[in-house]
Structure 1
Amino acid sequence: MSHLDDEKIALIAMGEPAGSDADMEHLVECENCAAEVAAMSRVALVARSSVVEGDLESPPADVWSRIHGELGLTSAVAADPASDVHPPESESASAPAASAPVSAAGPATATEADAAEAAAPRHRARVRPRRRSSATMWILAASMALVVAIGAGVWIARTLTPSSAVIASAELAAFPDHPDAEGQARIDDDGDGRRTLTVTLDGDELVAGDYREVWLIREDGQALISLGVLDESSGTFRVPDSVDLDEYRLVDISFEPVDGDPAHSGDSIVRGELDFA
């Protein structure tokens, strides 16, 4: 029983429509071919599951050189797979066909050969070891290089990405007109100089026709900066780079009527002072 060639096994493992009904029947009967398809499928699955959104950077040329040397590959696949070099044809395609053994009584007739093949145990063909061709090794090694490159990229991205840190926080106390309200605020710094204010507000009831606005107010109360509208019970707002938080330490959330006036309404729900300790 002849086996599937290495290129067809690789294509079937990657989900390509390369197998005929006869090939599928062969995979059911041949444990050796089925095992190779399963192994190649696992490599393809790992490579696909490791891909993330965005462009991937090609690994340095010496990565492939090290893989090539570690696996002891032939010079036919010495080229970097990241280039546009196509994988070489299977070695089995160019290998000369082995001649059939001739007995002392002379060559066997066609009838005798057919009878001998039919009498041979079928399971022996299933477990006959098969040598991977250079094309199969190229696909396996290229998938390994892809996984290594993606893993290195993820590690570098995580290592170089600055971590965010809370640099200030405040408890927001309720004003007399809103005794059930309570809130919290915190300032985060992403490690690259960008700051955000996150606030939460509970216990207030939004009146129809009004909205809630988040403010930073100077300690003397003579200047204030609007950061935006709070639509839900919590929200995050970018703090302008020009704002000195040592000066604008008060966080305020107010009810604002839809009247076209951008000034503070004077109806504060909660307010608190940032603590940088």
Structure 2
Amino acid sequence: MSHLDDEKIALIAMGEPAGSDADMEHLVECENCAAEVAAMSRVALVARSSVVEGDLESPPADVWSRIHGELGLTSAVAADPASDVHPPESESESASAPAASAPVSAAGPATAIEADAAEAAAPRHRARVRPRRRSSATMWILAASMALVVAIGAGVWIARTLTPSSAVIASAELAAFPDHPDAEGQARIDDDGDGRRTLTVTLDGDELVAGDYREVWLIREDGQALISLGVLDESSGTFRVPDSVDLDEYRLVDISFEPVDGDPAHSGDSIVRGELDFA
């Protein structure tokens, strides 16, 4: 039984119209060829299902060389299958190629020796064709695997790109109060893209008195209401802004000294304060 060559099996596996009616009938009857088509179809399906929209980036030139070395492949498939460039046959391979059958001269038919040489050359030529076709199919499979790796990498990159990123939506310079002339601070409001807001403050130039702590506040513009966001233990800190807080009203950021006296109200000893700018 004559089996389908590997190029035709690969094309059929990719859904290309490469097979004739006779080839299709052969696939129904031949378990070996049908199994090869099924195996290559799975590779093609995985590669295609992993490709995202848009053009894929070509892998670096050394990717194929690493795959080649890792699998211990021969020099016949040393060329990158993702490119259209194939190395020429080496001199040794050219030298080993069988010579064409000698033509019949005008003087008469070829001698018996010449005929024997021609018959010996033909099988060697046929023996070289099959491995070369199989190498081509192997390169196709490896190229599909490389495309799958690149597609997965592209999918990861796109997923990261589409993830909402934090953005600064307001900032403020915090000016020192007269009792703390060397203090200075900054504040900013970040939005993570899903509506969650945080306030980050920095404070320099003040000295924490033993027994006191520093507290961060949002104060309404009219000064009649304020919200504590937490204690500032270091020179900087980040605090979650409650979803219910309207920053158009609570625009003042304040950092104060607070005594450890059990009173949750503002002590009146502000270190720095500033108004948020949403421009």
Q: Which has the larger share of helix?
A: 2
**In structure 2, how many angstroms separate the alpha carbons of the residues matched to 1:129 and 1:251?**
76
Structure 1 residue 267, shift from structure 2 partner: 1.2
Structure 1 residue 163, shift from structure 2 partner: 3.0
Give deviations 1:59-108, integer Å, cap 9, x for gaps.
Answer: 99999999999999999999999999999999999999999999999999
Call closer, same or farther: CA 1:35–1:22 in 2, change over 3 Å: same
Q: Pick which of 63-72 and 257-266 moved more.
A: 63-72
CA contact (8 A) 2:215 2:255 kept: yes
Q: Pick which of 39-48 and 130-139 moved more.
A: 39-48
Call closer, same or farther: CA 1:120–1:94 in 2, change over 3 Å: closer
**In structure 1, how many angstroms separate the alpha carbons of the residues matched to 2:166 and 2:17?**
48
**In structure 2, how many angstroms separate the alpha carbons of the residues matched to 1:18 and 1:263?**
82
Secondary structure of the corresponding residue to residue 130 of structure 2: coil
Structure 1 residue 263, shift from structure 2 partner: 1.6
Structure 1 residue 191, shift from structure 2 partner: 2.3
Give deviations 1:20-77, integer Å, cap 9, x for gaps.
Answer: 9999999999999999999999999999999999999999999999999999999999
CA contact (8 A) 2:215 2:230 kept: yes
Structure 1 residue 214, shift from structure 2 partner: 0.7
* Backbone CA RMSD of aligned residues: 15.1
CA contact (8 A) 1:253 1:268 kept: yes
CA contact (8 A) 1:168 1:187 kept: yes
- The within-5 A match list for 1:35-184 is 140=142, 144=146, 147-184=149-186
**In structure 2, how many angstroms separate the alpha carbons of the residues matched to 1:24 and 1:179?**
89
Tell me the number of residue pairs that the alignment of Structure 1 and Structure 2 aligns: 277
Call closer, same or farther: CA 1:38–1:231 in 2, change over 3 Å: farther
Call closer, same or farther: CA 1:237–1:90 in 2, change over 3 Å: farther
Give deviations 1:119-175, integer Å, cap 9, x for gaps.
Answer: 999999999999998998799568635522431232222331123222211111111
5+ residue gaps, structure 2, are none
**In structure 1, how many angstroms separate the alpha carbons of the residues matched to 2:254 and 2:235?**
14
Secondary structure of the corresponding residue to residue 128 of structure 1: helix
Greater C-alpha radius of gyration:
2
Call closer, same or farther: CA 1:16–1:96 in 2, change over 3 Å: farther
The 4+ residue runs of structure 1 with deviation greater than 4 A are 1-143
Q: Pick which of 192-201 and 37-46 moved more.
A: 37-46
CA contact (8 A) 1:194 1:241 kept: yes
Q: Pick which of 191-200 and 37-46 moved more.
A: 37-46
Percent same amino acid at aligned positions?
Answer: 100
Secondary structure of the corresponding residue to residue 167 of structure 1: strand
2:245 alignment partner in structure 1: 243
Q: TM-score, normalised by structure 1?
A: 0.50
CA contact (8 A) 2:6 2:134 kept: yes
Structure 1 residue 194, shift from structure 2 partner: 1.6
CA contact (8 A) 1:67 1:145 kept: no
5+ residue gaps, structure 1, are none
Secondary structure of the corresponding residue to residue 196 of structure 1: strand
Call closer, same or farther: CA 1:127–1:7 in 2, change over 3 Å: closer
